[in-house]
Structure 1
Amino acid sequence: MGLYEMHVTDPDGITLIFVEVPPSHPLRKDTRGERDGTAG
């Protein structure tokens, strides 16, 4: 499953990009501490 993106332009002409990461996506996995075995 991929990321969901929405690109919009505000009244000042600035492009805003919203990204939703689905719960099962690999980016949701907390990899902090995996090297030393203390993933939290």
Structure 2
Amino acid sequence: SDGIAAGMSLEEMQQEITMDDYSHWGGHDWVHENVLAMYHFLTD
């Protein structure tokens, strides 16, 4: 929600939010899709 409040676009947030600290977790390759889902959850 910080990115939305700062006026960032979805694409900007998908590039900036990488969650590198969790790269060893299963499903980490879904980060972009999860950012997309949360963006729509918070804005729709």
TM bucket (normalised to shorter chain) is under 0.3
Output the TM-score relative to the length of structure 1: 0.28
Output the TM-score relative to the length of structure 2: 0.27
- Structure with greater strand percent: 1
Between the two structures, name the one with larger relative contact order (CA 8 Å, sep ≥ 6). 2
The structure having more radius of gyration, on CA atoms, is 1
- Structure with greater helix percent: 2
